[in-house]
A and B are shown apart, each in its own frame.
Chain A
Amino acid sequence: MTEPTAVTSHGTIPPAADESVNSTSQSGIRAMWESWTNRVFTMREDRFFLFLAVLIGILSGLAVVCFRIAIEWTQIELLGSSISPTFPRVILAPTLAGFAVALLVIYAFPRARGSGVNQTKSAVYVSNGYIPFNTVVGKFITCALAIGSGQSLGPEDPSLQMGAGIASLIGRRLRLSQEKVRLIAPVGAAAGLAAAFNAPISAVLFVLEEVIGTWSAGVLGAIVLAAISSVVTMRAFLGAESMFRVPPFRVAKPADLLAYVALGVVGGLASLVFLKWLAYARPKMQSLPSWTQHFQPAAAGLLIGIIGIRLPQVMGAGYPIIDQAMHGQFTWKLLLILAALKILATGFSFLSGTPGGMFAPSLFIGAMLGGAVGAIEQHFFPALPGTVGTFALVGMGTFFAGFLRVPITSVFMVIEVSGNYTAILPVMISSLIAYGISRSYIKVPLFDLLARQDGLVLPSVEERREQLILTVEDAMRVDAALVLEPGDRVTEVTKRLEGKEDLLCFLRARPGEWNFIERSELQRLAADGSETHTAAELQFKGPLPFVFRDMSLEEALHWAGDWPALPVLSRADLSKLEGLVTLDDILKAFRKVPVR
């Protein structure tokens, strides 16, 4: 945050080449380089930003590839190569690694603790896009150790933050404008998340939904480019296969979709339980004496290890286990037990402050719950289409939507991670139900809740969504204007205005050209007693900017102060006045809206 950021104008980036160098002495390569950099740095900043997005995407993709390899290697070294680790390893690995992680976080990488999403969000809204590179290194090392040792956390959130950190560093070093430096962190975040999930669309949607919180056209192109670049890079090294292989299925009848309603309810309730627990327990854990932080991750690791003795499936990110659940490898009882224990294990890891993400565990819990609901439903209704795998897939999106409160992302994520479009309707139905249940009982989404517990007040996407957007229609007055034509006689107009003190006069010169006439001007011209004066002779103010009834009041506010009134015209006919709006009307409308 203390690094200087040379703020440039919004135009082009000024070339910073040393002019004193004698061009004749330059080598051919150097000449080419200078010519290229000159072209790069003299391009418009928007275009340069897109160029950087690609660079950030590639670097983030590479970082995520290395991160995933590091996690796998750590896992093989610490837990062994079997999905069922042997007894001493299953206890010792998460406990000892938890202790090591705690020391690293306390003494070397203090900012590695916490949610990567919130840290990226606070970089955008609090610290002008600044994310220290030390956090990237810290996240890489501590998360690889934690997840690889079996802590119940996922690699997506750290990947997101690593991407954001890389982007932030590049933006600062290249001395972009402050606005671009602030926006570059989400670009990197999208790249990191896209590579981690192998899902570019979901990553773009998540960053827009959760990190930026708005559909900003200015940054959308860069985010998309970065996400694509990172996914392409990741696929070049780790393969292009979908994360999960779901057996094919089809929804035969619309009534079959009812089966997924129950899943939505179960997913919503489960996400509610998990959220309530985290919201309650996190402040309690944070209020413990600081020395306990040395041991909290180890204690969490020990508890997870104890669970892992009987059910090692709950350890780590759990992607192979999700794959097995999708292939109907577990009974509904075991699926329910795994879901419950994963909630416990993830809670232990998260509450202990162990660095890592909640994405993978929430997918795991959702898949297990979905599989269980599917198996139970199929037991009672054998004719039900779809397999347990289908329900597990839909369950992932359902719990994700209820827990992280990102319903749009969850739908696309399910499609992308499975490569299966057939699931879209079931996922939409159950995700919306889960989201609705979760929202009904917990008003604040997870990431906002965590931010508030940490003393940060970051803008909430959900709150923004719920904000009432006032339009001109909310403030405009109808039948409050008298429309004059250039040929109207002033005396007649004066008569029409008698007794109607509130009426304002507009002169319609031609369609789309409206002017304002003061009453005093009418009276001035009418005072000489001549019957021949027409409206065309009046002095007017205009042409007035006009507005439409669906335009936001913020837009109308731009002009309202400069003119006595603004005409509200029909979009279909610019010669038709639908009403008028004044600054006073607009302010009154704003005052009516309850303050948050």
Chain B
Amino acid sequence: MTAPFFKFGLFNDEVSFIIAFVLGLAFGFVFERGGFGSGRMLAAQFYFTDMRVFKVMFTAIVVAMIGLFYLSWIGFIDLSLIYFGDTFLVPQIVGGLILGIGFVIGGYCPGTSTVAIATGRLDAIAYLLGGAFGIFVFGELFPYISDFFYSTPMGRITLPELFGIDHGIILFVVILLAIAGFTAADWGEKYMASRKEGK
């Protein structure tokens, strides 16, 4: 097994910064070209008028899942070294809701707001400043909420471990979910478009 390259010491911290920089450029470029640098595009998700963001995100998830599955199957990558955080169920649900509300109100997620700043959008600058302020407030309040923050710990858990079934089945189910989701999104877009015309 040779990957993840960094964890097997193929390059050091300094080189990893360069690689992260290049990957970041590519990521930002794709985001901007995909139209994610517009708050309107992201808000459109929640009105079901343009589901592009949903489709792109879910496609990325499926592509990454298939890629990781087969790369680890041929022995190229060690999945156990791929980092992901511990699960704290209830606090993470609450955190997800707060992020989602911010997403709907502001029209950006943390990543897309920085992309939007690159094209000079003022709302994105306000959004990012708000985010930074939120981080500051969270940091200051952390001693008071740390009990809740660390509640319902489940450790480093994955879906196959949680349900006790094979990785492959999870992969297949997620692919089916994605395709069902895309079909539903298409249908929703058409429905909203026809309703708009009807008005």
Q: Do A and B come from one complex?
A: no
